[in-house]
Chain A
Amino acid sequence: MAVMSIREAINRTIAEEMERDETVIALGEDIVGGMGTAGGPEAIGGIWGATGGLYAKFGPGRVIDTPISESAIVGAAAGAALAGKRPIAELMFADFVGVSLDQIWNQMAKFRYMFGGKTKCPAVIRLIYGAGMNAAAQHSQSVYAMMTSMPGLKIALPATPADAKGLLTEAIRGDDPVLFFEHKAMFGVKGEVPEGEHRVPFGHARLTREGGDVTIVTCGRMVNFSEKAADKLAADGIGCDVIDLRTTSPLDEETILDSVEQTGRLVVVDESPPRCSLAADISALVTAKAFSSLKAPPELVTAPHTPIPFARELERAWLPSPQKVEEAVRKALAFRS
């Protein structure tokens, strides 16, 4: 085990996979940075630092700095994947799916199905998402629920450095298109990462806390918020199962339902507005498939149905928080108890 940040885990995983397999290529805006400037290549090294050093190691043929053209970036990843490569494209902000959406969900998501299973599209799109840096309405969104709704895509959201490595390795080596969501406020989060080969299979959630009184289902940065709430509640004798989904597509229904069948109480924590959200989806799943186990209505901890505001106080009010999770757990427990 080595201790490193999520940023380092992602950077090293890309480098290791490019080293291992020459069909792996990387592309995106400023992933090299400084091209065509007096400062020269790698003057930036990727605005998130996740792609620093790759250009020097693998050269311009495989580490491709692109113009600001998100449709062309994602489309080129799709085309290169059809032609036998394993591209890793970066969308500097997940919000930019709006610019490139056709190539994501009319093209790469559908190739295999439309073409009768006679091809594969092993492309990875890294999307940097999430609120918490006061980046306002167009640079803070968590669009994973919208992407989860599209058949043909796989959606991964690591919450730890170890999962960043394990899930990204799986994404790159897998044969399906993957949207890999990296939370912009989590790049510095440190943790232990296994050395050598480390793959985390998709569709297998991680039970990060075992409590038995209430089930908290969550993903991404909200895992940390939920763990904080669970640890505080544990001091009061309230035990929470905290389930980090790791991937929202495929979804590990079994782990969710097993837990709810034990606890009878569900809280879903989701960093996005509530309508057609992951929270609504998980709530519907549990209500339909574990109805007789439920002792209380599902509690949904989400952002409000608004764009993401800029001011620190407003963004803080918009986001779910450990305190809101704690309140939801207490509410679920209080129902007809």
Chain B
Amino acid sequence: MSQLGRDDLLTAYRRMATIRAFEERLHDEIKTGEIAGFTHLYCGQEAAAVGVCHHLADDDYIVSTHRGHGHCIAKGCDVKAMMQEIYGRAGGLCKGKGGSMHIADISIGMLGANGIVGAGAPIAVGAAISAKLDGRGKVSVAFSGDGACNQGTTFEAMNLAVVLKVPAVFVFENNHYSEHTGVDYSVGTSNDIASRAEAFGMKAWRADGCDFFSTFEAMRDLLDHVRGGGGPAAIELDTERFYGHFEGDPQRYRGPGELDRIRESRDCLKAFRSRVREFADISADDVDVIDGEVGTLIDEATAEAKAAPPPPPEAVLEDVYVSY
């Protein structure tokens, strides 16, 4: 909190509110059948993405997951271009060739959402190798979930990062579900992912991924360590997934009242609104104004995406290679 001024706090809130509104709108629009393919919503985890990315500059890297919209927005991807991408439009961030699971913007260090669970961590270590060589204090963040923490790629990447002492950060967002399977079943270390990172020889933090301040403060300490040359580090964020694995998932694995309960007690936006007023010179009106602006942005983004043209058929042959 102490390092966050009014502007910082409002920016963080705006990012979280944007993610929420973006995802809630997609949840509604997907039902109309207008959006093709598979979509995995980030609702509920906003504090994790924003609490991490609020520390990052454009020349720091992140590698995201199949549930990547929140990471993209938190890192600064253009929201309207993202919406067009999800609608499969020529004006999309990836010209309609990637879709929800492959949004990227290399120019701001967003090295891609990824459809393969666990694929991101080795890529992030590669960017960390590059960052270490450049010697400018940049870091590379791999977002992974409690599903990806069981992939061998993640283990390999953690070990390689420790061996090479590169500025890689492994963020494990534990939303308690690996697709449709509970962590109590699938994560052998008794629902404790951070201990795995520790076992690989790196320092690990644990924080509440439904609380921006908890995530932000833990990340501040973590990044002091990594940017100071202390080698890689990990953080496990305890968080919640408000929707299913994918849109259309009937979520029969949820307990009675579970979704209502987490919406009521684990909503990071509600928590932010109540806490921020204790500490800073921010009123309810300030936050309401942001909510209104975000709503307008998402309305515009959706309307523009619906009206935008699809890619021309000849685009199917473009962008395979730089040179042919």
A174 touches B323 (CB 8 A): yes
- Answer whether residue A188 sits at the interface, using C-beta atoms and an 8 A cutoff: no
A103 touches B129 (CB 8 A): no
Closest to A27 in B: B129
B-chain residues with CB within 8 Å of residue A117 when the two chains form the complex: 95, 97, 318-319
Interface centre among A66, A75, A117 (most CB of B within 10 A): A75
CA of A118 to CA of B156, assembled, Å: 28
Neighbour of A175 across the interface among B97, B98, B132, B322, CB < 8 A: B322
Known: A72-B125, A103-B122. A79 touches B319 (CB 8 A): no
Considering the complex, which residues of chain B in the window 120-164 have a beta carbon less than 8 Å from any beta carbon of chain A?
121-133, 140, 152-153, 156-157, 159-160, 163-164
Interface Cβ pair total, 8 Å cutoff: 157
- Answer whether residue A31 sits at the interface, using C-beta atoms and an 8 A cutoff: no
Number of interface residues of B (CB under 8 A): 49
- Answer whether residue B47 sits at the interface, using C-beta atoms and an 8 A cutoff: no
Closest to A87 in B: B126
Shortest Cβ distance from residue B57 to the other chain A in the assembled complex, whole angstroms: 14
B164 touches A64 (CB 8 A): yes
A69 touches B156 (CB 8 A): yes
Closest to B123 in A: A79
CA of A73 to CA of B157, assembled, Å: 9
Interface centre among B111, B115, B123, B128 (most CB of A within 10 A): B123
Cβ contacts B82-101/A at 8 Å (1 or 0 each): 00000000001111111000
A-chain residues with CB within 8 Å of residue B95 when the two chains form the complex: 116-118
Neighbour of B133 across the interface among A62, A75, A103, CB < 8 A: A62
A-chain residues with CB within 8 Å of residue B156 when the two chains form the complex: 67, 69, 71-72, 75
A79 touches B126 (CB 8 A): yes
B interface list, Cβ under 8 A from A = 61, 63, 92-98, 102, 104-107, 111-112, 114-116, 119, 121-133, 140, 152-153, 156-157, 159-160, 163-164, 318-324
Could you give 27 example pairs across A and B, Cβ below 8 Å? A64-B129, A66-B164, A67-B160, A71-B156, A73-B160, A75-B122, A75-B126, A76-B122, A76-B126, A77-B126, A79-B61, A79-B127, A80-B129, A84-B130, A85-B129, A102-B116, A113-B319, A114-B94, A114-B97, A116-B93, A116-B96, A116-B319, A117-B319, A118-B94, A152-B320, A176-B321, A250-B324
